[in-house]
Amino acid sequence: MIPAPGLLRNAVCMLLAAWSVPSADAAVTLLREYHLGEAGSFDGLLPQDGSGAGAHYTGSTGAITTSTILPSPASGTYSHFDGSSDAFGANMATIPVDNFAIGMWVRVADADRQAGIFSPGRRADGNLRFHVENGYFAASYKGVGWIGDDPTDGGTVGQAITENEWTHLAVVRSKGVSTFYINGLAQGGTSTATPVHETGRSHLGVFNQGLSRYSGDIDEIRIFSFDPDTDNPVSALQVPEPSALVLCLGAIGCLVTRRRK
């Protein structure tokens, strides 16, 4: 007997949810979470931290808008940055300098520019930065060096941007080594530099002081610490929030989420 489509869809969703959710005894600790679209994720134009740490953004430029059109695999609503909008001022100083991970979903509208996507800091050398570098995704420690391949030297195929396509970006620092991941795949070239997380200096959609603003969409920024001996931070980064089950509105949606892990 062939199961009804609805039953089969629910079964697939349950299996994928069970596969993706970390075990209860894992030491993953959520430190910051910016849903960037769902109810309560903004106070006016200011992105709010949903982790409970209270690290909300305190300033913005222009109007960050939200949309539900072609959402990311992680949620139904996301934020749009039009190249003239940004947010700044969230406090990241309590994030540890080792055994932490930062991940987010992005969809770039204009890749032929240099633009800041997200940074826990601002000016200090050692700030971790996610950015667009003229057709390539990039991660770097400001004033220190690249994490992953150098996008200004041709980059790699793995770091090339496909415009208007949701992509998951992450940096994992484990036991003193930082690795840049795109859609769960490690990019060439790691870094042993010590990161600097500044007080009240995080920037979203821009490098700093209005320089190199981002054009595109961002969704579900998550920052957490982990035990490098017991946890899988790459898997934990890409668990859809608020839960895998919420995403399972159809079998295709579940399969897309699974593929991008």
Shared domain for 108 and 14, answered yes or no, is no
- DSSP codes, 227-251: -TTT--HHHHHTS-SS-HHHH-SSH
Quick one: 85 and 191 in the same domain? yes
In order along its 261 residues, the chain shows pLDDT tens digits of 444 444 333 333 332 233 233 443 357 899 999 999 999 999 999 999 999 999 999 999 999 999 999 999 999 999 999 999 999 999 999 999 999 999 999 999 999 999 999 999 877 788 999 999 999 999 999 989 999 988 888 768 889 999 999 999 999 999 999 999 999 999 988 999 999 998 888 999 998 766 789 999 999 999 999 999 998 887 777 544 433 322 222 332 333 333 333
DSSP 8-state class, residue 125? T
Cβ partners under 8 Å of residue 211, min gap 6: 116
Full domain range(s) for residue 107 = 25-242
Same domain, 2 and 53: no
Whether residue 121 is found in the same domain as residue 219? yes
Do 15 and 135 belong to one domain? no
Q: Give me the half-sphere count of Cα atoms (radius 13 Å) on the Cβ side of residue 204.
A: 34
What is the pTM for the complete model shown?
Answer: 0.82
Say yes or no: 163 and 136 in one domain: yes
Q: How many domains does the chain have?
A: 2
Residues 235 and 131 in one domain: yes
